[in-house]
Each structure stands twice: as structure tokens, then as C-alpha cells.
Amino acid sequence: MQNSSPPSPSAPVPEVLSRPVVFVSGKGGVGKTSVSQALARVFAERGERTLWVGFEDPIRKPGELVRVARNLHFLNCEATTAFEEYMGIKLKIPGLAHLFVSNPVIQFLAKAGPGIHELVLLGKLWYERRNYDRIVADLPSTGYGLAMFQSIDNWARMFQSGPLHKDARAMIETFSDPRQTGQLIVALPEEMPLRESLELGEYLQKIFPQNAPAYLVNRRFPDLSGTPGVEGVDPDPSRWASPHASSLLDFAFRRSVLETHNTKLWDQAGVKHSGLDWELPGTEIEGICRQIRERLVK
């Protein structure tokens, strides 16, 4: 008998982080890059061969693959170099692949073809998973990151034959499989990022209905409840007569209360979530690594 219950809106963060491929996504400015870098570092420290992937960073060499630390490499995944590498694999003659990709007609088709750009970016990551124990991908901000997955799904539906179709179907199967791939959505404890992350999660579940994402609140302010001197502040921000703080301590407490109030958006949506505390600038990566080791990685 088929299970007709609706899919869960979320998966536990530690469970998602135990999978070989982890995509880190969210609104721009929420700390995706810091979180993904810290995750990659923690996996590498555990002795796992790890690839940390960024996409088309303009300040890095296209297709650059560098060793960051023991067991850890960084890849600047870029479409042109990925496409040439892909064609080299299919043609089995790298020199011929370069001539093929350099052809103006092929260059035009590669740029104009619907979804080819996104397909080769995710295809490079998908191919590299056989060379590493772990892959952590720092996806572009919400809209473009989602478009990448939507593009390979569209490609698999639009074209019914050929090597690109076959590989697109295989990618969808890999990214849909909760044993192989996890989606980690990161947000700040602010209303707009929290709401947008729920929308992102809904879209991802439409593409990968059997693979619920995990949700992580980044840069949480310390819980100051019970601190002497803040007893008079109402714990419900909607009842505050004024949002203005009367002192530095009052400001800190109000921020703590407001963040707790904001994250109820996820609680009300039935979303399981974990959190990372705010870290001082300059030591943020080390602090996130420590928190991941202590709380999130099994």
C-alpha cells in the first residue's frame, strides 16, 4: 500500500550533513559561504577527502582547483571550462574537445541553449563526487541557485534522447536521493530571510519531493533571558510600546527576544531547525567549525 502522507517540510540538520553531497543555499548575505567553508573544513579534519565548490567566482581563475588544506580542495566551478571538460569525456579526445568547443557555432549553442549553462555547472559537481568522500557546494543566492536545479529538471523533460538528456536524468536521480544528497537552507534570524527560506524550501521540494531540505539559523544572538536588569522587557515584541532601547543591555536583550520571536515562523511551519551562534568577526570560521563539531556533525 502506497504511503499517501504528505512529505515532511524538513529534515534534521545532522542527518542532512551526513550525506556525501551537501548544497548550502539561501538569501544573499546570510553567511552561506562561511557555513559551507566551515562544513568542508570539519569534514576534511575528520579524514574525509572533501571538495568545497563555489560557482563562477570572478576574482578566481575559471575552473581553478586548489588544495586548501589536508584532505580539502576548493573548486571554482565555471561553465566554459566545465563544458570543455565534459566534451573531452564524451569525445574521449581532449585536444579534439578544445577544437570542438572553440567552434563559434558550438559556443553560440552552448550559450543560447536552454539550461546548458546550469547543466554543465551542476554536471561538473556531479561528476566530481566519484573523486571525493564529501562535496560541499556554496550555491549562488536564492533565485539563481534554484534556477540551476530547475534548469536540469527542465532539460531532462524537454529532451528525450542524447548524452546530455541521459546525464541530466542521472543528476536528478542523484540530487533527489536522500542517501546521496542533502539541501541545507541557511537564514539569519530576521523575518525576511526566514520567510524567503520557507519559499525556497517549498520550491526545492517540488523538484525533489522525496528529499526534504534542512534549515539552519545563522548568527543567532545569545539568549539573555534571566539576565539581571532586563526583567521589565515584554517577551512579545508586538506589545512593545517603542522599539527603541534605553541602554546597551536593553538593546541586546531586545535583539535576543526579537530573534526568538522571528524563528517562530519556522516553528509554525513545522520546520525542524538548528542554529549557529553569532561569532566575532575575524574568528567566525573557527567559531562555526567548533559549533558544527559540537552540535551538528554525527
Distance of alpha carbon 255 from alpha carbon 242, whole angstroms: 13
Q: How confident is the model at residue 285 (pLDDT cuts 50, 70, 90)?
A: very high
What pLDDT is recorded for position 230?
60
Q: What is the reported pTM?
A: 0.87
The single-letter code of the amino acid at 197 is: S
What pLDDT is recorded for position 18?
97
Would you call 138 helix, strand, or coil by DSSP? Answer: strand
Lowest mean pLDDT among 70-79, 95-104, 278-287: 95-104
Residue 113 lies in a domain: yes
pLDDT at position 109 over 60: no
Q: How confident is the model at residue 96 (pLDDT cuts 50, 70, 90)?
A: very low
Summarised one tens digit per residue, pLDDT across range 214-246 is 999 999 988 776 666 666 667 777 777 777 777
Residue 98 lies in a domain: yes
The mean pLDDT value for 191-210 works out to 93
Distance of alpha carbon 66 from alpha carbon 60, whole angstroms: 11
Distance of alpha carbon 239 from alpha carbon 61, whole angstroms: 53
Residue 46 lies in a domain: yes
Whole-number CA gyration radius for the chain = 22
Task: Please name every residue paired with 215 in a beta bridge, in sequence order, or none if there are none.
Answer: 185, 273
- Three-state DSSP string of 109-155: HHHHCCCHHHHHHHHHHHHHHHHCCEEEEECCCHHHHHHHHHHHHHH
The mean pLDDT value for 262-285 works out to 92
The mean pLDDT value for 100-107 works out to 47
- The residue with greater pLDDT, 13 or 148, is 13
Task: Spell out the residues 6+ positions from residue 12 whose beta carbon is closer than 8 angstroms to its own.
Answer: 214, 272, 274
pLDDT at position 77 over 90: yes
Nearest C-alpha neighbor of 296 from the set 19, 8, 7: 19
Which three cell numbers, joined as nine digits, stand for 181? 544528497
What pLDDT is recorded for position 146?
83
pLDDT at position 85 over 80: no
Residue 3 lies in a domain: no
Residue 215 lies in a domain: yes
Q: How confident is the model at residue 51 (pLDDT cuts 50, 70, 90)?
A: very high
Distance of alpha carbon 268 from alpha carbon 122, whole angstroms: 33
Residue 1 lies in a domain: no
Residue 2 lies in a domain: no
pLDDT at position 114 over 60: no
Residue 7 lies in a domain: no
What pLDDT is recorded for position 72?
98
Which three cell numbers, joined as nine digits, stand for 269? 511551519
CATH number at residue 71: 3.40.50.300
What pLDDT is recorded for position 136?
98
Give me the domain span that covers residue 168: 13-296
Domains: count for the chain? 1
In total, the chain counts a number of residues equal to 298
What pLDDT is recorded for position 210?
93
